[in-house]
Amino acid sequence: MKKFKILLILFMFTVGCGYQPILTSDNKNFSYKKAETKGDDRLSFRVIRNLEHLKSSDSEYNIKIDIEEKKSISSKDKKGNPSIFNLMIIIKIDIEGKNKNLSQTFSENLNYNNQKNKFDLKKFENEIKLSLTDKLSQNILFYLQSV
């Protein structure tokens, strides 16, 4: 019963302070007319889908998105086989408008262990790519809201 009271009080404070999620608010400071992508099609589609709510036909800005992925070997075992990989996703955004031309680069990387089953390794790498791309999309959204 005591936990319920504490939870109720916390809920009242949260509702009373006017909490509103940042990414779902309707007051957009930035919108774009057209987006062009270069790089991996699957990751590009993911980024564009995450930025879709900022699209507006009466905007003056166009966005160019360049996605690059780099996979490297971080460490090898005694036999010389790779044991740890590093996957880096780099997204470069160019914003072109009548009055502004901005460019910003975002990157995320992750180290992961090699696996014996290469099918599972490839599946895991794809999940990592999507996860890093979603994280970068969130960073891009925050950046675009501040432009």
| pLDDT tens digits, one per residue of 87-96 | 999 999 999 9
CA gap 39, 69 in Å, rounded: 9
Question: In the chain, what are the domains?
Answer: 30-146 (3.30.160.150)
Q: Would you state the pLDDT for residue 46?
A: 92
pLDDT tens across 17-26, in order? 665 665 555 5
Pairing of strands 82-96, 62-76: antiparallel
pLDDT tens across 67-110, in order? 999 999 999 999 999 999 999 999 999 999 888 789 999 999 99
Average pLDDT, the chain: 87
pLDDT tens across 117-146, in order? 999 999 999 999 999 999 999 999 888 888
pLDDT cut 70: percent of the chain above it: 90
- Beta-carbon contacts of residue 44 (< 8 Å; ≥ 6 apart): 37, 38, 65, 67
- Beta-carbon contacts of residue 59 (< 8 Å; ≥ 6 apart): 31, 32, 33
Predicted model pTM: 0.77
